[in-house]
Every structure is written in C-alpha cells, then in structure tokens.
Structure 1
C-alpha cells in the first residue's frame, strides 16, 4: 500500500490531515479522562458512608464485646448491641452501591466521549486514506508493469469535458491508435491526479 502521495502539495495535505486526526483522538481522550475525573469526584459521599458505616460497625462490635463480659445480662446485652453492627454494615453497603454507581457512570461517560468522536473519524477520515492508498498502489502497479494504456483509458473516463477540450487533437482517437505520446500524456495526468509519480 502507498499511504502518501509523491507530490509535495498533496503529501503535505495528507500529513496535516493525519496529524489533525491524531490530535482529534488525543483531544477527546484527554477531555474524556478529565470528564471521568469530574464524575468520580461525586463518589466522595459514598466514601463517607463507607467510612461512617465501618465506624458504626466497629463501635457496636466493641460495645457488644465489652457488654458480653457483664455478669448475668452480658449475653443478652451483647446480642442487642451486636444487632447494631448490622446498621453499620447497611450504611457501608449503601456507600459501596453509591460508589459503584458513580464509577459505572464515569466509565460510560469516558467510553462515550472517546468512542463517538473516534467512530466519526473512522467513518470520515479513514475511508479517504484507504481509498487513496488503494488507488495509488494500483496506479503504481499499472505504471510499473508498462500498462500505461489502462491508465490513459482511466484518465479519459475521469477527465471533465473542459479538460478534454483543451487537447489539440482528439485524445480518444490517439488512445485508440495506440499513440505512445497521447497515452503517455494521459497516463501521466492520471498518475498526477492520484498523487503518484510515473
């Protein structure tokens, strides 16, 4: 495959377009990562709930342990305080659920902000680059194998009426007769339009 034209003007345009494509992807990755960080900052309340739930759980567990050493009523008191640990666990679970929800939103925001612009780029820029590469490669192969008459025929088929009218003689007749000068001019025009040197 031939990814870049031989002519300087078209080569520069292709390089600039490729650099813009890379810059486009870089910008959206950077923007998406910053947006993700912004969304993740909303997980702070969830972190607070997890910490508070852990502290409540530990406080009730310690109290139940201490109450268990009280004579006669220690077992019942420890059981009652032990149920308070469930409140701490529930609070921590709510915090974990909130953190998970925020992280899920952050993930999908990041994926969306990267995937949509990159898909747009792949739909618009990539087909143009691949089409150029295929055409340039095929034209170079035809030229290298000496089949310039096919390039000349393609030039005849793709030239505008104004371009055809600029010829002094009938280029179609010259092509039909196999006139090497006409074929060379037409093939050279087609190669030039494709960005390939003959």
Structure 2
C-alpha cells in the first residue's frame, strides 16, 4: 500500500512519535479491556451460583415429584403421603426459578459493569487519538494532492508564509514574500516544502529543494 493511503507521516521524527503514541494508546486500551474482563468474571461468579441453584433445585424437584408419584400408589394413605412430596417439589421449582432469574440478572450485570468500567477510560483516550489521527490523515492527503500541481505548490508556499517561523522562511529566501510574488519557482518550491514537512510529509521525489 502506498504511503499516501496510510495515516502515518513519512518524515522520520513525526513517524516515530506517531508509532509511539499508537503503542501507548494500544497499551492503555489493553489494560482497561483486561480490567473490564476481570470485573465481568467477578460478577459472573454470581451467575454461576444461580445456575448451580437452578440445576440443583430442578433435580430435587424431579426427585420429589417422582417420589410423590410413587407414594400416591400406596393403598389408603397414598394421597396423604404424596401431597407433601408434590408440594415440596413445587417449592423446589420456585427455587429453581429464582436461581434462573439470578443467573440471567447477574449475567447481564456482569456485561454492563464490565463495559461501564472499561469504556470511559478507553473512550477518553481513544476518541481524541482517533480524531487527531483522522485530522492528520486529511491534512496529509490534502497537501500531497496540492503538491502535484503548480497552483497547489503556490498555495502551499502561501500557507508556509502565513504559518512557518520567520527563521525557516529566511532559510529559503532572504525575501520570501517578494520571491512568492515574483513566482520564483525555487522559492515557491522551498516554501511549499516547509509546509509539507510541517504536515509530516516528505518531499516528492521529483522535487530538488534549494535555498536562496
């Protein structure tokens, strides 16, 4: 992929700074993702308790219901004996339902708390980083496109006159404004080169900058 399609500078110093910032942001995001996962795991243990209660109570209910069915077959006292067993089976089913509710609630709570803990610090750093990187890429793309045309070079040179330090301007020409007005090609290209470097873009191969 050609460098103009990448959101990175082509000048060494700017590129190193961008890579370093990317590593810092990636490390920050990784740390908070791990924190969010830890919170999720901690809360999810409650959901596991709910699942265990549900499974255990369901098994007890099935056993009591089977015992009630068996007791119902006892002559004379079968109905009397089976009623408490079946009632206990219903209570066990209610307990299983409570365990299921605990499982569902705790599972959702684990996700929400994990996201609530991890998302704010990630967004606090990630969004400004993304905004700055997109803004850099748009500026990089713009100056590269401008540098391809003579009129674009003049516009870049004009921006350099307005934005670059006087010391850098006088390194290009003792009279940078006059040179720009005279459309001096060497001065215009030198000034445009200053603007390219400020945008993190190296000089095009076809350019041969010279100071006057």
Asked whether the two chains share a fold, i.e. TM above 0.5, the reply is yes
Q: Identify the residue that residue 104 of structure 1 maps to in structure 2.
A: 108
When the two structures are aligned, how many residues end up with a matched partner? 198
Higher relative contact order (CA 8 A, sep 6+): 1
Which residue, out of 179, 182, 191, partners 1:186? 191
Deviations along 1:38-84, whole A, 9 cap, x unmatched? 11123354244324422431342132122111112323432442122
1:149 aligns with 2:154: yes
1:73 aligns with 2:71: no
C-alpha distance in 2 between matches for 1:167 and 1:10 = 22
Say if 2:89 is the partner of 1:50: no
Structure 1 spans left out of the alignment, 5+ residues: none
Q: Shift in Å at residue 9 of structure 1?
A: 1.1
Q: CA deviation at 1:30?
A: 1.9
Relative distance call for 1:184 and 1:194 in structure 2 (3 A) is: same
Output the aligned Cα RMSD: 2.3
Q: Pick closer, same or farther for the CA change 1:197–1:52 going to 2, 3 Å.
A: closer
* CA–CA separation in structure 2 for the residues paired with 1:186 and 1:37: 58
- 1:112 CA displacement: 2.0
Give 3-state SS (helix, strand or coil) of 2:76's partner.
coil
SS class of match (1:197)? coil
Distance 1:160 1:7 in 2: 19
- Structure 2 segments unaligned to the other structure (5+ residues): 204-212
TM-score by length of 2: 0.82
Which deviates the most, 114-123 or 60-69? 114-123
How far is 1:171 from its partner? 1.9
Give TM-score, length-normalised by structure 1: 0.87
